Chains A and B, each alone.
Chain A
Amino acid sequence: MTLQSSGQETINLQGNHACALGAVAAGCRFYAGYPITPSSEVAERLAKELPKVGGVFLQMEDEIASIAATLGASMGGVKAMTATSGPGFSLKQENLGYGMGAEIPCVVVNVMRGGPSTGMPTRPAQGDLMQARWGTHGDHPVIALTPGSVEEIYQQTARAFALSEKLRIPVIVLFDESLGHLVETVALPDVTDYEKTVRKWATGKPEDYKPYKADKDGVPPMARPGDGYRVHTTGLTVDESGWPTQKSAEVEPVMKRLLGKVALNNDLVESFEDMDCEDAEVVVVALGVVGRAARKAVRELRASGVKAGLFRPITLWPFPTKSFRKLTKKAKHFVVAEMNAGQLILEIGAAKTGRQSVTGLNRFDGVPISPSQIKQSVKEVLGHE
Chain B
Amino acid sequence: MNKQVAISAENNEAGNSEIRDFEIRDYLRLDMFPHFMCPGCGHGIALRALLWAIHSQGIEKDKLAIVSGIGCSGRVGSYIDANTYHTTHGRPLAFATGLKMARPDLHVVVITGDGDCLAIGGNHLIHAARRNLDITCLMLNNEIYGMTGGQVSPTTPHDRFTTTTPAGNKEPVFDASRLAEAAGAGFVGREITIHLPRLRDLIAEGLAYNGFSFIEVMSDCTEVNGRKNDLGSSPEMVLGQTRTMRPSEYDNNVVDHPFRPNTMNTGVFVRSDRPEYGATYRNMVDEIQALQQKGQK
> Are A69's CB and B88's CB within 8 A?
no
Contact in complex: A69, B106 (CB < 8 Å): no
Q: Does B196 contact A (CB under 8 A)?
A: no
Chain B: which residue is nearest A235 at the CB level? B88
- Closest CB-CB distance, A194 to chain B, in whole Å? 20
Q: For the complex formed, measure the closest distance between the CB of A287 and the CB atoms of chain B, giving whole angstroms.
A: 31
Interface of B is mostly: helix
**B127 CB-CB contact with A under 8 Å:** yes
Residue-by-residue, is B56-93 near A (CB-CB < 8 Å gives 1, otherwise 0)?
Answer: 00000111010100000000001001111111100100
Contact of B98 among A30, A52, A94, A227 (CB under 8 A): A30
22 CB-based A-B contacts, threshold 8 Å? A54-B285, A54-B289, A60-B94, A60-B97, A60-B127, A61-B123, A65-B127, A68-B97, A69-B94, A69-B98, A71-B98, A72-B87, A72-B95, A73-B99, A74-B98, A75-B95, A76-B106, A77-B102, A80-B102, A225-B83, A227-B62, A232-B84
Q: Lowest 4 CB-CB distances: which A-B pairs, in order?
A: A72-B98, A69-B98, A68-B94, A73-B102
Q: How far is the CA of A65 from the CA of B126 in the complex (A)?
A: 12
User: Bound complex: CA of A64 vs CA of B95, how far in Å?
Assistant: 10
Q: Which of B32, B82, B94 gathers most chain A CB within 10 Å?
A: B94
Q: Is A349 in contact with chain B by the CB < 8 A criterion?
A: no
How distant is B131 from chain A, measured CB to nearest CB, in Å?
9
Chain B residues lying within 8 Å of A54, measured Cβ to Cβ, are 285, 289
Cβ of B124 < 8 Å from any Cβ of A?
yes
Complex CA distance for A29 and B82, rounded to whole angstroms:
25
In the assembled complex, the Cα of A234 lies from the Cα of B29 at a distance in Å of: 15
Known A30-B102, A52-B289, A76-B106; 16 more pairs at CB < 8 Å: A29-B102, A58-B97, A60-B127, A62-B123, A66-B94, A72-B99, A73-B99, A73-B102, A74-B102, A80-B98, A80-B102, A225-B65, A225-B106, A227-B62, A228-B62, A233-B84
Given known contacts A56-B281, A62-B123, A226-B103, is B95 in contact with A69 (CB within 8 Å)?
yes
CA distance A86 to B6 in the complex (A): 51
Assess whether B94 is in contact with A72, with CB atoms less than 8 Å apart: yes
A65 near B94 with CB under 8 A, answer yes
Whether a CB of chain A sits under 8 angstroms from the CB of B19 is: no
Most A CB contacts (10 A, CB to CB) among B91, B105, B284 go to B91
Is A95 in the interface zone, CB < 8 Å from B?
Answer: yes
Pairwise interchain contact B102-A78, C-beta atoms closer than 8 A = yes
Question: Beta-carbon contacts of A147-178 to B below 8 Å, as 1s and 0s?
Answer: 00000000000000000000000000000000
Q: Which chain B residues lie closer than 8 Å to A62 at the CB level?
A: 123
Given the interface pairs A30-B98, A68-B91, A232-B86, the reply to whether A52 lies near B106 with Cβ below 8 Å is no
| Interface assignment of B101: CB less than 8 Å from any CB of chain A | yes
Residues of B193-212 contacting chain A, CB below 8 A? none
Is there an interface contact between A243 and B98, defined as CB atoms closer than 8 Å? no
Tell whether, in the assembled complex, residue B289 and residue A69 are in contact, meaning their CB atoms are under 8 Å apart: no
* Interface membership of B147, Cβ < 8 A: no
- What's the interface size class on A, roughly? 35 or more
A32 within 8 A of B: yes
Task: Assess whether A89 is interfacial by the CB under 8 Å rule.
Answer: no
Which residues of chain B from 265 to 297 have a CB within 8 Å of any chain A CB?
281, 284-285, 288-289, 292
A50–B289 Cα distance when bound, in Å, is 10
A235 touches B97 (CB 8 A): no
**Chain B residue contacts of A324, Cβ below 8 A:** none
Q: Which residues of A contact B88 (CB under 8 A)?
A: 68, 94-95, 98, 235
Residues of chain B within 8 A (CB-CB) of A69 are 94-95, 97-98, 101
Structural contact, B103 and A76, CB atoms closer than 8 A? yes
A68 to B85, CA, bound (A): 12
Interface on A for B, CB 8 Å cutoff? 29-30, 32, 51-52, 54, 56, 58, 60-62, 64-66, 68-78, 80, 94-95, 98, 225-236, 243-244
Q: Find out whether the CB atom of B87 lies under 8 angstroms from the CB atom of A226.
A: no
Cα–Cα, bound, A328→B239 (Å): 76
**Min CB–CB distance B247 → chain A (angstroms):** 33
Contact present for B285 and A235 (CB under 8 Å): no
Query: When the two chains form the complex, which single residue of A61, A75, A94, A232 contacts B127, counting CB atoms closer than 8 Å?
Result: A61
Q: Which residues of chain B come closer than 8 Å to A56, judged between CB atoms? A: 101-102, 281
A52 contacts which chain B residues (CB < 8 A)?
288-289, 292
Min CB distance A10 to B, Å, is 23
Complex interface: chain B residues within 8 A of A225 (CB): 62-63, 65, 83, 99, 103, 106
Complex Cα distance, B126 from A62, in Å, reads: 12
A18 to B221, CA, bound (A): 53
Name the CB-closest residue of B to A68: B94
Contact indicator B99/A226 (Cβ below 8 Å): no
Contacts of B138 in A (CB 8 A): none
Taken together as a complex, chains A and B put the C-alpha atoms of A62 and B149 apart, in Å, by: 29
CA distance A94 to B94 in the complex (A): 14
Chain B residue at smallest Cβ distance from A238? B86
Contact residues in A for B192 (Cβ distance below 8 Å): none
- The answer to whether A230 touches B98, judged by C-beta atoms less than 8 angstroms apart, is no
Name the A residues within 8 Å of B81 (CB-CB).
230
Residue of A32, A73, A75, A78 contacting most chain B CB atoms (<10 Å): A75
Give chain A residues whose Cβ lies under 8 Å from the Cβ of B99.
72-73, 75-76, 225
Residues of B within 8 A of A230 (CB): 61-62, 81-84
Instruction: Establish whether residues B95 and A71, one from each chain, have CB atoms under 8 Å apart when the complex forms.
Output: yes
Query: Is there an interface contact between A32 and B32, defined as CB atoms closer than 8 Å?
Result: no
Is B96 engaged at the interface, CB distance under 8 Å to the other chain? yes
- Closest Cβ of chain B: how far from A239's Cβ, in Å? 12
Judge whether B97 and A65 touch: CB under 8 Å.
yes
Which of A80, A232, A235 contacts B78, CB < 8 Å?
A: A232
Bound CA–CA A69/B92 (angstroms) = 9
Partner of B85, one of A66, A73, A78, A233: A233
Known: A73-B98, A225-B106. A235 touches B62 (CB 8 A): no
Given the contacts A32-B98, A58-B101, A75 and B85 also touching, CB distance less than 8 Å:
yes
Residue of A nearest to B106 (CB): A225
Q: Is the CB of A226 within 8 A of B62?
A: yes
Can you name the residue of chain B whose Cβ is closest to the Cβ of A61?
B127
Output the nearest chain A residue to B123 by Cβ-Cβ distance: A61
Q: Give the contacting residue for A70; candidates B98, B106, B127; CB below 8 A.
A: B98
Cα–Cα, bound, A60→B62 (Å)? 28
